[in-house]
Amino acid sequence: MRRLLPAPVLQFINTVAFGRRSAPKVFDFRGPRRVGKLFGVERVRLSRAPRRRGASTLSVRHRICELKYLIVIFSIIIAVCQVSCGRRAENAPHSGKLQVVSSLFPLYDFAKNVGGDRADVSLLLPPGVEPHSFEPRPEDIIKLGKADIFIYTNNYMEPWINDILKGINNPGLVIVNSSKDIELLKEEDEEEAQEHGGRDPHVWLDLTNAAKMVDAICDGFVKKDPVHKEFYRQNAESYKAKLLALDKKFSESLAGCKKKIFMSGGHYSFGYLAKRYNLRYLPAYYGFSPDAEPNPKDLIKLSKELTRNGLHYIFYEELVNPGVARTIAGETGAKLLLLHGAHNISRDELDRNITFLSIMEHNLENLKEGLECR
Ligand SMILES: [Zn+2]
């Protein structure tokens, strides 16, 4: 019978599993023995248990027995792996790094810049998911139950915030409302204002607001880990300097543009950006549901508005089918440009390590083109 395992391995298993060095007869390791000559060459065969009655049955038993050994050894390996993997998972929150969870992409990027190598930052929104219709899942609640810091935008962006916090049993969790020091703008549309409580949640699209959000996030880190206060403060200052330098670049670049008005085929999200840089902004619709679409009458009205303002470009938003912008572009001959709201990023963008700053740099380039800047 051909063995499934080499003899030394079987001997080791015998010793470990059955506590004896001598192998049972079915695994006799007495070494090779001569069995005669063939064409003048000595033939040898590995020793095996003496052949006896029912040997054919015994061969089957040998195989079954070896399979049992295999099962024993694999069970041991799996058990060891499970224990060690389990320990790793248990240890993750105690790896020495702060476990930080953020709701939207900008907060995720801000927290990574503030926390540096002292924090493991994760994003609650899965890549590519539209944020306004996002509802936290049971696994998100479990995740927050183990976190040190949770960062959200504001109650208008995450209207589920109070419900989810009620369901979390984590007294040590530091909760950061990153818009706490920002005056939220009223929604432009009266009807929508009444329906949603009347505030525009897209604060991060004004880069000076983004800097205030970094401060709020930094406060959260300091509260949770005061020993490393200086580390977080320095990181925050360094990142805020980049945000404010880009804000300056926006102001300078957009000051001399031929157009001071732009149209987006998406939901109302660039109110803060428009206000900051003295621009007029025409969204395809007010409110914050990117699933909503203007009716044909609205599309005709928007197309006329685009033409009346002499605009040659229409912007479309990220993660949503640019059908509205494309229809208006088709009607008017305008060209399409992306204006990324940075709420969330796609899987592809995540793989490319895209950053909030790079998104805003790209937005500036497209705005310069769309507004026909000199
Ligand atoms: Zn939005």
**Rounded Cα distance, 331 and 325, in Å:** 10
pLDDT band at 92 (very low <50, low <70, confident <90, very high): very low
The pLDDT score that the predictor gives to residue 86 is 39
Domain-wise residue ranges, the chain: 7-92, 95-244, 250-370
pLDDT band at 61 (very low <50, low <70, confident <90, very high): low
Q: What is the torsional sign of CA 95, 98, 101, 102?
A: negative
The pLDDT score that the predictor gives to residue 266 is 87
| Cα 233 to averaged position of ligand 1 atoms, centre (Å) | 29
| Cα 274 to averaged position of ligand 1 atoms, centre (Å) | 14
| Cα 150 to averaged position of ligand 1 atoms, centre (Å) | 20
Closest CA to 101 of 21, 220, 263: 220
For residues 74 and 156, the model is more confident at: 156
| Cα 35 to averaged position of ligand 1 atoms, centre (Å) | 84
| Degrees to nearest 5, angle at CA 7 with 6 and 8 | 95
Q: 209: burial class by Cβ within 10 Å (0-12, 13-18, 19+)?
A: buried
| Cα 132 to averaged position of ligand 1 atoms, centre (Å) | 6
**Tokens for 81?**
């792996």
For residues 235 and 36, the model is more confident at: 235
| Cα 269 to averaged position of ligand 1 atoms, centre (Å) | 5
| Cα 232 to averaged position of ligand 1 atoms, centre (Å) | 29
Closest CA to 280 of 297, 244, 305: 305
With a cut of 80, say whether residue 14 has pLDDT above it. Answer: no
**Tokens for 363?**
């937005």
CATH no. of 95-244: 3.40.50.1980
Q: Which CATH superfamily is domain 250-370 in?
A: Nitrogenase molybdenum iron protein domain (3.40.50.1980)
Residues 143 and 119: beta-carbon distance below 8 Å: no
In degrees and rounded to multiples of 5, residue 228 shows phi and psi of: -105, 30
First to last CA, the chain: 86
pLDDT band at 322 (very low <50, low <70, confident <90, very high): confident
The pLDDT score that the predictor gives to residue 319 is 84
Residues 214 and 243: beta-carbon distance below 8 Å: yes
| Cα 259 to averaged position of ligand 1 atoms, centre (Å) | 24
| Cα 14 to averaged position of ligand 1 atoms, centre (Å) | 66
The pLDDT score that the predictor gives to residue 17 is 45
**Rounded Cα distance, 345 and 352, in Å:** 10
| Amino acid identity, position 70 | L
With a cut of 70, say whether residue 354 has pLDDT above it. Answer: yes
With a cut of 90, say whether residue 148 has pLDDT above it. Answer: yes
Residues 338 and 316: beta-carbon distance below 8 Å: yes
In degrees and rounded to multiples of 5, residue 261 shows phi and psi of: -140, 145
| Cα 238 to averaged position of ligand 1 atoms, centre (Å) | 28
| Cα 287 to averaged position of ligand 1 atoms, centre (Å) | 9
- Give mean pLDDT, residues 86-104: 69
**Tokens for 276?**
């900051």
pTM tops 0.75: no
The pLDDT score that the predictor gives to residue 81 is 41
pLDDT band at 232 (very low <50, low <70, confident <90, very high): very high
- Give mean pLDDT, residues 3-18: 49
| Cα 354 to averaged position of ligand 1 atoms, centre (Å) | 19
- Number of Cβ within 10 Å of residue 201's Cβ equals 25
**Conformation bin of residue 128: beta by default, left when phi > 0, alpha when psi is -120 to 50:** left
**Rounded Cα distance, 317 and 349, in Å:** 15
- Give mean pLDDT, residues 224-236: 98
| Cα 108 to averaged position of ligand 1 atoms, centre (Å) | 16
- Strand spans (E) along the chain: 32-38, 41-46, 98-102, 119-123, 149-152, 174-177, 261-264, 280-283, 313-316, 335-338
Residues 147 and 196: beta-carbon distance below 8 Å: no
- Strand spans (E) along 129-193: 149-152, 174-177
The pLDDT score that the predictor gives to residue 320 is 82
The enclosing H or E element of 240 equals helix 229-255
User: Which residues contact residue 346 at a Cβ distance below 8 angstroms, ignoring those fewer than 6 apart?
Assistant: 127, 128, 318, 319
| pLDDT tens-place string over residues 114-144 | 999 999 999 999 999 989 889 899 999 999 9
- Matching CATH topology for 95-244 and 250-370? yes
| Cα 157 to averaged position of ligand 1 atoms, centre (Å) | 8
| Cα 339 to averaged position of ligand 1 atoms, centre (Å) | 12
Q: Write the CA distances from 261 to 247, 287, 303, integer angstroms.
A: 19, 20, 14
pLDDT band at 323 (very low <50, low <70, confident <90, very high): confident
Residues 263 and 305: beta-carbon distance below 8 Å: yes
